[in-house]
Amino acid sequence: MRFRSVCMAATTALAMAALGSPAASAAVSLPTAHCGTVTGTNCLNFDDFTVYSLALLNLQAGAGPISPGDPFDVSTNGTALQNSLVVGTGVSGAGSVNSDQIGGGLVDDAFETPSGTLVNFQMSTSNDNIQGANIPGNTSDTWDVNVGALLTYLNGGKLAFFFNLNQTNTTTYLNDNEDALGWLSVTLSDTTGAHTSKTFWLDGDACNGTIGLPGSTNCDPSQSFAQKAAPDPSNPNANILPADPNHDEWAYIHGQICANTSGALLHFGACTGGDVDGVTLNQNLGANTAAFALYSDGLQQWLLSGDYDKMSVDLRMAAENNGYEQLLIQSVHIPEPITVMLFGAGLFMVTMLRRRKFKTA
């Protein structure tokens, strides 16, 4: 009986680990992060955030470049993200009101992202919508939400951001007309003052990786772009500087990447004739389809700590040559690496008990 009960416990632990917490409500599933650029990797680290290219995940799933109905076709006007919280969306975009997901004045509506030729974006009073009236310390230069209400919305899933890239072929000062620049910070605050706030960054400051080097998990220097402290007519990414000098580099967003059919990154930009087995992946998927998923394990852990009651998002973009980019929040399922550990521990316990049983027989 004892042997059977341990087997059942190990099986239950494995099932719980595989399913996660009650995240059945999560509309989107992301793979366990194995960051790098060699075969078998599926993401890159940008400071505190893990960034998944949905086009690359789709290729690795055997579906090729993203098409409607593919495994990682995450359409923001379809069922996958129709219940998202919207942090920012185009001024002509639908779904900027978040009270349909979180009521009681506990969440801001979406900020209006720009359209135009070579424009920049920073959250401010000029592009905000209705602010959550019952969020203490709410400000108009960040998107804010009550943490308790956010966790209820996530319903046991994990928080992930989804970003849409919507560039045109208008000339920019970047390497390719479909490229852009982005920067994100997410701050957890305790409005009672009992706990020091924590900020999690997505920027280009930690881009010290090497393409094709095993074990190199970070973005590489080509994915970092220096911000300017003063307007520069020849380089229009002028004076959108975050307050922290340790996080003052843009993350470079590539409209296209080149990978091989095994899903390993060859280089940024479209494939050329010299790329053997190369597949050009389009990451500039437009206003209605998410191009990237952004996840921070540290942010997720501290969200669940009970120490904080407000989450604030600061989104900034530059080199916008079309606009209507969107940033959304959705509850997702990401398998934990501990799954294998729990399964291994369960098997170890079973093996030891079986040996003990045979010795006493």
pLDDT tens by residue, 102-146: 999 999 999 999 887 777 888 988 888 889 999 999 999 999 999
Chain centroid, CA 153 distance in Å: 17
Task: Report which of residues 294 and 115 the model is more confident about.
Answer: 294
Q: How confident is the model at residue 242 (pLDDT cuts 50, 70, 90)?
A: low
The predicted pLDDT at position 92 comes to: 55
Cβ contact 360:187 at 8 Å: no
Token pair belonging to 267: 């280089």
Residue with tokens 């209006």, as numbered in its chain: 112
Same domain, 76 and 10: no
Mean pLDDT of 321-346: 74
Q: In this predicted structure, which of 9-18, 150-159, 272-281 has the lowest mean pLDDT? A: 9-18
| pLDDT at residue 348 tops 50 | no
Residue 330: CB partners within 8 Å, gap ≥ 6?
26, 27, 28, 81, 83, 84, 85, 160, 162
| pLDDT at residue 232 tops 60 | no
- Max Cα-Cα span within the chain: 85
Token pair belonging to 140: 């108009």
DSSP structure string for 156-191: TSEEEEEEE----S---SSSSTT-EEEEEEEEEE-T
State pTM to two decimals: 0.85
Same domain, 222 and 346: no
| pLDDT at residue 213 tops 90 | yes
Q: How confident is the model at residue 231 (pLDDT cuts 50, 70, 90)?
A: very low
Task: Report which of residues 245 and 311 the model is more confident about.
Answer: 311
pLDDT digits (tens, 9 = 90+) for 51-94: 999 999 999 999 988 888 899 999 865 555 678 999 999 865 55
Same domain, 311 and 328: yes
Compute the distance between CA of residue 255 and CA of residue 166 in angstroms, rounded to an integer: 9
Cβ contact 216:206 at 8 Å: no
Q: Residue 225: which domain range? A: 21-334
Same domain, 244 and 359: no
Same domain, 206 and 322: yes
Number of domains in the chain: 2
Mean pLDDT estimate for the chain = 82
b or e along 44-68 (b: 16 or more beta carbons within 10 Å of the residue's beta carbon)?
bbbbbbbbbbbbbbbbbeeeeebee
| pLDDT at residue 24 tops 60 | no
Residue 2 — φ and ψ, nearest 5°?
-65, -40
The predicted pLDDT at position 22 comes to: 37
Same domain, 11 and 118: no
| pLDDT at residue 237 tops 70 | no
Same domain, 100 and 236: yes
Same domain, 351 and 220: no
| pLDDT at residue 199 tops 90 | yes
| pLDDT at residue 296 tops 90 | yes
Token pair belonging to 157: 């899933």
Same domain, 180 and 193: yes
| pLDDT at residue 235 tops 50 | yes
Q: How confident is the model at residue 23 (pLDDT cuts 50, 70, 90)?
A: very low
Same domain, 217 and 326: yes
Same domain, 104 and 246: yes
Same domain, 349 and 279: no
